[in-house]
């Protein structure tokens, strides 16, 4: 058995093993690439209100209103305030159970409250646990199976990378005549659908291989801690990223000033050009209050994080993109590379097409395998040995085509 045949068998069985997971990842990836743009249209009524000339209410009052509508049983855990005059303020109450197995057990509840920042009135209350894009995200992330699903997704992605490499080996033309049909579609009116399916699998897969490979590799950063650390180690030329010491709040430093309003005023003043500001409420009494200044588009990864004393509002630490080492910078850019937003709209379109290609490869590959399997069965069956229902088979005329038969014989049969 030749090396190419061995690679062909490996490509076949790995493809059959991981095909369903790769299909799900590709399809959910297609949807999630344009999440922001779709949200702006579908959820416009909850994301925006009529801008007013009056000042917006203090964050502490908005927080109090949101908490009142949710009740004490659902404490606010984080919230987001936009710089856009017409944007609503969003407050979230979230609780998880990491010991649970499935998505629906891990995420006990997740509610978003959207408020009018001028009047403080509730615009919409959203059950984020069952929100469409949240479900798409976690189906993509762990198949709704928590830690087990995360491993399945991770190793399926590893297999997909092997499939891309082995597929390139199988695709590689043996001669110039074969190359003509490997680089572009040579379809005619007489071209059968099986040939078209074969070309879709090979030609489209070849042209989007580099992009799908980048998407797969960036996906592994979330799937495996060891891969994430290895990437950062390599980026830092063998030096691990410096671990930051934890900072804590001092309950004795409590001041009568509303700390949350002081924190918002500080980060708004220090990073005025941000699109929005997100805040994470500390779970422990000594925990630091985290505030992030967020950007959009090609600058999305350039966020600034500031940690505050939750009682006094004193700044404990500030870290911007420029303060990170090369490994940390690459890690911050990982999401933007994964969804293509680092290149703006063209990058997103490219990521969408690559994800669509990844979705199609298991389907076209399965059709190729199924067709060859049935063909092999027909050849080995008694009725396929020169007779039809006990009579001599009539010799059919051979259709003349421009297809190089030598090239077709050379094509890998295990794709």
Strands 89-96 and 107-115: antiparallel
CB atoms within 10 A of CB 270: 15
- CA distances 254 to 61, 86, 205, 258, Å, are 19, 34, 60, 10
Position 56 in a domain? no
Position 296 in a domain? yes
pLDDT for res 253: 66
Q: What pTM was computed for the model? A: 0.86
Q: What is the CATH number of the domain that holds 259?
A: 3.10.450
Position 70 in a domain? no
Tell me the C-alpha distance between 128 and 70, whole Å. 13
**Taking a C-beta distance cutoff of 8 angstroms, is the pair 358, 350 a contact?**
no
**Taking a C-beta distance cutoff of 8 angstroms, is the pair 249, 310 a contact?**
yes
Domain range for 269 = 251-324
**Taking a C-beta distance cutoff of 8 angstroms, is the pair 21, 361 a contact?**
no
Position 310 in a domain? yes
Position 262 in a domain? yes
pLDDT for res 409: 37
Supply the DSSP string of 116-146, one letter for each residue: -TTT--EEEEEEGGG-HHHHHHHHHHHTT-H
pLDDT for res 371: 84
pLDDT for res 85: 96
Position 305 in a domain? yes
pLDDT for res 391: 47
**Taking a C-beta distance cutoff of 8 angstroms, is the pair 309, 324 a contact?**
no
**Taking a C-beta distance cutoff of 8 angstroms, is the pair 93, 74 a contact?**
yes
Position 258 in a domain? yes
The list of the chain residues with pLDDT below 50 reads 387-394, 396-415
**What's the structural domain count of the chain?**
1
pLDDT for res 254: 60
Say which residues have a Cβ less than 8 Å from residue 327's Cβ, sequence separation at least 6.
Answer: 231, 232, 233, 235, 236, 241
**Taking a C-beta distance cutoff of 8 angstroms, is the pair 184, 200 a contact?**
no
Position 274 in a domain? yes
Q: In this structure, which long-range contacts are made by residues 195-199, counting pairs with CB atoms below 8 Å and at least 24 apart in sequence? A: 195/403, 197/364, 197/367, 197/368, 198/364, 198/368, 198/411, 198/415
């Amino acid at each position: 058995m030749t090396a190419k045949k061995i690679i062909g068998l490996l490509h076949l069985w790995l493809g059959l093993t991981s095909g369903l997971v790769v299909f799900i990842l590709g399809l959910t990836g297609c949807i999630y690439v344009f999440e922001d743009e779709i949200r702006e249209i579908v959820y416009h009524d909850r994301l925006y209100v009529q801008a007013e000339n009056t000042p917006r209410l203090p964050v502490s009052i908005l927080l109090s209103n949101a908490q009142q509508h949710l009740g004490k049983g659902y404490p606010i855990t984080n919230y987001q305030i936009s710089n856009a005059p017409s944007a609503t303020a969003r407050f979230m109450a979230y609780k998880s159970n990491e010991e649970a197995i499935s998505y629906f057990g891990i995420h006990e509840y997740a509610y978003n409250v959207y408020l009018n920042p001028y009047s403080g009135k509730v615009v919409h209350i959203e059950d984020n646990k069952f929100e469409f894009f949240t479900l798409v995200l976690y189906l993509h992330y762990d198949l709704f199976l928590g830690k087990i699903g995360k491993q399945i997704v991770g190793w399926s992605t590893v297999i997909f990378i092997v499939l891309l490499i082995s597929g390139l080996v199988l695709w590689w033309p043996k001669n110039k005549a074969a190359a003509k049909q490997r680089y572009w579609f040579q379809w005619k009116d007489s071209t059968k659908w099986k040939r078209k399916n074969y070309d879709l699998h090979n030609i489209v897969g070849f042209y989007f291989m580099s992009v799908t490979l980048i998407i797969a590799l960036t996906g592994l950063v979330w799937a495996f801690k060891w891969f994430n650390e290895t990437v950062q180690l390599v980026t830092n030329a063998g030096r691990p990223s410096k671990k930051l010491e934890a900072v804590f709040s001092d309950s004795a430093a409590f001041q009568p000033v509303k700390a949350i309003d002081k924190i918002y005023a500080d980060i708004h003043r220090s990073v005025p050009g941000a699109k929005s500001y997100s805040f994470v409420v500390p779970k422990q009494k000594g925990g630091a209050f985290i505030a992030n200044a967020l950007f959009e588009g090609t600058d999305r990864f350039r966020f600034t994080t500031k940690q505050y004393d939750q009682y006094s509002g004193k700044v404990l630490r500030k870290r911007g993109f420029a303060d990170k080492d090369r490994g940390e910078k690459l890690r911050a850019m990982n999401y933007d590379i994964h969804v293509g937003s680092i290149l703006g709209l063209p990058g997103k379109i490219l990521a969408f097409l690559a994800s669509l290609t990844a979705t199609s490869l298991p389907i076209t590959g399965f059709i190729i395998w199924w067709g060859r399997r049935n063909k092999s069965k027909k050849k080995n069956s008694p009725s396929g040995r020169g007779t039809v229902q006990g009579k001599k088979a009539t010799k059919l005329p051979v259709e003349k085509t421009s297809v190089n038969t030598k090239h077709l014989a050379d094509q890998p049969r295990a794709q």
